[in-house]
Structure 1
Amino acid sequence: MHVIIGLGNPGTEYQRTRHNLGFYVVDMLARRWDIRLSRRTFLSLVGDGVWRGEKVLLVQPQTYMNRSGDAAVKIREFYHLSLSDFVIVQDDLDLPVGRVRIKRGGGGAGGNRGIASLITSFGSKEFVRVKVGIGRPPGRQDPADFVLQPFTRQEEASILPAVEKAADAVEMILTQGLDPAMAIFNVTSETSPQ
């Protein structure tokens, strides 16, 4: 089973914020794979199904960002999964708006409290992350405030293609493996993979 967890915050007040890009990508995958996110379990909104012959579980934790690990560890324990069965989709301040990057383990949370919660709950950094760039806040704006704001109109033009690209990255990880996906999506140019 593959578990794809999109990080975000529940509630309509957060629905269109930068910090909810993980939810956007899970919603996109749910549409592509014809999976309904309709069950409330594991402290999450969950949809399960089969994609290309593999069982998949799409997850949007309903714990708020800083407790995302609580939901993930419940899923891991219930299904007896290894960390290699998880793909985490997150927003990333250190990537330009719209850039997608894949990472396996290493490093820290990079200021993302959802990732910090996962590292604590899993007891390890060794899980796959699909990062979607939201850029840095302008001037001296507090990053914590910035991530909870909606995208500007200019940024919105880059967001849908980035969500599509992140969904493509998840699919490639599942079908071709992590290394081929990283070779395609971790390019330094701004061009989209074909």
Structure 2
Amino acid sequence: MGKYSWLWVGLGNPGPKYRYTRHNFGFLVLDFFAQKKGLSFAPGPFQSEICPYKDVLLVKPQTFMNLSGEAVSPWVRKLYLKPEQVLVIHDDLDLPLGRIKFVPKGGAGGHRGVKSIIDALGTKDFPRLKLGIGRPAPGQEVKDYVLERFSTDEWPTVESILEKTSEALDFLLENGLLKTMSIYNRA
């Protein structure tokens, strides 16, 4: 076994323009987690920002969302990881804001960042931490909705989810995926 037993990949788009958007929820989670630990991200290889923590490498692909697999696949190879050691953290339209859900594997569900990783790894068999963002209002395009910043009214919920996911990620390290799912997937 190598130095790392986990690769935690937060999905988002690079640059300040996208920082607080719904589509960058994965980045927000990893930034919050690192900040709580007194750590910070630094530029790394494979078009990534990286942050080591214990036996986990936190990665924020800087490829733009739809090309996330281009950053993830080389890391998996370099670190000799199996797909089940790659946790992808991403926004999810099918869950309401305030809900998180760990899953052991699955399809892309229309999420192009997840699809890119599935295509690059050649498998759907990697765990996810899905972060609910809810659905757009009737008549609003999904792509516009996900690229909008969280509203002022939504921020208290977002902040509580950042706290909850940070706690859940620590729990995952100590207890594994199945136990984490049983505790944190409750509504």
Return the TM-score normalized by structure 1: 0.90
Per the alignment, residue 27 of structure 1 pairs with 31
Q: In the alignment, is residue 100 of structure 1 matched against residue 100 of structure 2?
A: yes
Amino acid in structure 2 at the alignment position of 1:75: W
Per the alignment, residue 71 of structure 2 pairs with 71
Q: Give the percent of matched residue pairs that are identical in Structure 1 and Structure 2.
A: 40
Distance 1:162 1:65 in 2: 21
Matches within 5 A, 1:18-167: 18-50=22-54, 55-106=55-106, 108-167=107-166
Give the aligned length.
Answer: 183
Q: 3-state DSSP class of the match of 1:131?
A: strand
Per the alignment, residue 191 of structure 1 pairs with none
Q: 3-state DSSP class of the match of 2:154?
A: helix
Distance 1:98 1:84 in 2: 26
Distance 2:64 2:143 in 1: 14
8 Å Cα contact 2:20/2:149 also seen in 1: yes
Per the TM alignment, residue 40 of structure 1 is displaced from its structure 2 partner at its CA by: 2.6
Per the TM alignment, residue 66 of structure 1 is displaced from its structure 2 partner at its CA by: 0.4
8 Å Cα contact 2:73/2:121 also seen in 1: yes
Structure 2: gaps (5+ residues):
none
Q: Which moved more, 1:32-41 or 1:1-10?
A: 32-41
Structure 1: gaps (5+ residues):
189-194
Distance 1:131 1:181 in 2: 13
C-alpha distance after superposition, 1:4-25 (max 9, x if no partner): 1100000111011000000011
Q: What is the Cα-based RMSD across aligned positions, in Å?
A: 1.1
Per the TM alignment, residue 69 of structure 1 is displaced from its structure 2 partner at its CA by: 0.7
Q: 3-state DSSP class of the match of 1:153?
A: coil
Instruction: Return structure 1 stretches of 4+ with deviation > 6 angstroms.
Output: none
Per the TM alignment, residue 186 of structure 1 is displaced from its structure 2 partner at its CA by: 1.3
C-alpha distance after superposition, 1:42-81 (max 9, x if no partner): 210111242xxxx221111000000101100010111111
Per the TM alignment, residue 96 of structure 1 is displaced from its structure 2 partner at its CA by: 0.5
Match of 2:9 among 5, 16, 28: 5
* 1:49–1:166 distance in 2 versus 1, CA, 3 Å: closer
8 Å Cα contact 2:31/2:40 also seen in 1: no
Distance 2:124 2:174 in 1: 23
Distance 2:53 2:98 in 1: 28
Distance 1:49 1:109 in 2: 27
Q: Which moved more, 1:153-162 or 1:63-72?
A: 153-162
